Structure 1
Amino acid sequence: MSATPLTVTFLGTGTSQGVPVIGCDCEVCRSADPRDNRLRTSVLLTKGATKVVIDCGPDFRQQMLRSETDHLDAVVLTHEHNDHIIGMDDVRPFNFKNKADMPVYASEQVIKELKNRFAYVFAANPYPGAPMLKPIPISEKDDFSIGSLTFQPIAVLHGRMPVLGFRVDDFTYITDMKTIGEEEKQKIVGTHTLVVNALHHSEHHSHLNLKEALAFIAEIRPQQAYLTHMSHRMGLHEIVNAELPEGVALAYDGLEIQFCKS
């Protein structure tokens, strides 16, 4: 019997402002190519009957509608920046449909920030109809499973902020990274498909730029790599993608990849 495939759907591949950017008339923001239209960064993992979203930003509702996702087992969070967590109110339709709390897997620090920013959710007597969330602490030290998916956390730094990436089978997903330690890097070695952030071409204090992302990919040597969390300053998809090395591509909203565990 063949192994159950893992399907990864890119729900959003843009940076915190999304693309197009409000008020911008650059060629990327005016592009008619749908691959240049980027919601905030998130992916949907599907394996068998299990569906999990990594990150829940301000475009979460639109992403769920666009991907026709009618069932969700959990949300996994990489870190506490708003473009990765602030859509949490829109898990309510899943609460109503399942009549259950939504499990949210995140570090202790991220859970603390969730409770601050969504105080009404965690109040002693929450407002009727408020989202129902079940925070579940995770750390870079321990793997965890959700249904048929097993996550291996990978600790990276977003400037000075701790961020978690994740390896699931032969797929590794890292966003908002600037640096990574050697021990964490070893968790990625041998991965088939690597997704990593590449903000744009210039130096940035807390994100990899394109040159740094390509150097990281060359060091890890996956069979295939995709770039995500890109700003409008990255350039037009059609042009930049054609200039990338073999085995590296710009991800885009709606891209779906599927593979079996080796």
Structure 2
Amino acid sequence: MTGLRVTIWNEGVHEAQQDPPVMAEIYPDGIHGAIAEGVREAMPDASVRTALLADPEHGLTEEVLADTDVLLWWGHRAHGDVDDTVVDRVQQHVLGGMGLLVLHSGHFSKIFQRMLGTTCSLGWRDEAEQELVWTVAPHHPITEGVPNPLVIPEQETYSEFFDIPAPDELVFISSFDGGEVFRSGVTFFRGNGRIFYFSPGDQRYPVYHQPEVRTVLANGIRWAAQPQRPRTPPEVANLARRWR
């Protein structure tokens, strides 16, 4: 699949505050910049743009979303600062067929909670421990070329219970040094849209520079994209009876 239009959204708060201080060293171009670099490497024919919370309309105008096949969303500290009007707009585009990849702490984003209808809460601690990302759907296109397990040397620990609906597809499960497990890669179908949540990617660690993680994101983009589908959400229709 070539020529996809990808928008990478990042709240940009950690970058602006340089918190943690290693942000400038790990992500000199921001988390969004590192993700964009990986997407461009894996998908050289793609058109990739980035957008930030501080941009007018958070960079997610109607024109931008209409020109986006897949939207990637990274958020952490500023979920409540996202304007509900923008959330409404993104929701309608997802229901119409735009792909949505929600990353790491984006599980608490307004758009993810809106699409799933639950709190999306989970257990967590941060002691820079190793994460093993295990493939549990080996024939799923998102897992193509991904080692099993995918080893992330240091990462924030997430753990169950993860308050989400039963996923339409369970793709990855992670285990951590402390014994925790977590459903770290799940998909959902909402309206005409496809959603992929992938948890690795804390701001303290260079996860988005890791080639295997970049492969997962590129695969997720290809899976979620439906560029030929008209951007029309499902609606109630009073159909004329034509079958008899």
Tell me the TM-score normalized by structure 2. Answer: 0.34
Where is the helix percentage greater, Structure 1 or Structure 2? 2
